Amino acid sequence: MSRYAAAHVDPQGPGDARPTALQIVQDEDFKGKLTGKVAVVTGVSSGLGIETVRALAATGATLYLTARNLDKAKAALADIFDSRTMTLVQMDQASLESVRIAAQTILSKTTQISLLVANAGVMANPDLRLTDKGHEMQFATNHLSHFLFFNLLKSALLAGSSSAFQSRVVMLSSAGHRVGGINSSDNYHYQNGGYNPWAAYAQSKTANVYMANEIERRYGSQGLHAYSLNPGIAATGIIGQLSSEEIMGMLQDKAMLKAQKGLDQGAATTIYAAISKDLEGRGGSVSE
Catalytic residues: 173, 201, 205
Burial class for 61, CB neighbours closer than 10 Å (0-12, 13-18, 19+): buried
**C-alpha pair distances (Å), 85 with each of 52, 65, 129, 141, 257:** 15, 11, 37, 27, 37
Residue 249: partners with Cβ closer than 8 Å, 6 or more residues away: none
Closest of 279, 268, 269, 202 to residue 229, by C-alpha: 269
**C-alpha pair distances (Å), 108 with each of 103, 112, 153, 156:** 9, 11, 11, 11
CB 258 within 8 A of CB 11: yes
d(CA 50, CA 40) in angstroms, rounded, equals 13
* Three-class secondary structure of residue 174 per DSSP: coil
- Backbone torsions φ then ψ of 46, nearest 5 degrees: -165, 170
What region does 223 belong to: left with phi over 0, alpha with psi -120 to 50, or beta?
A: left
d(CA 220, CA 167) in angstroms, rounded, equals 9
Beta bridge partners of 130: 136
* Three-class secondary structure of residue 212 per DSSP: helix
Burial class for 9, CB neighbours closer than 10 Å (0-12, 13-18, 19+): exposed
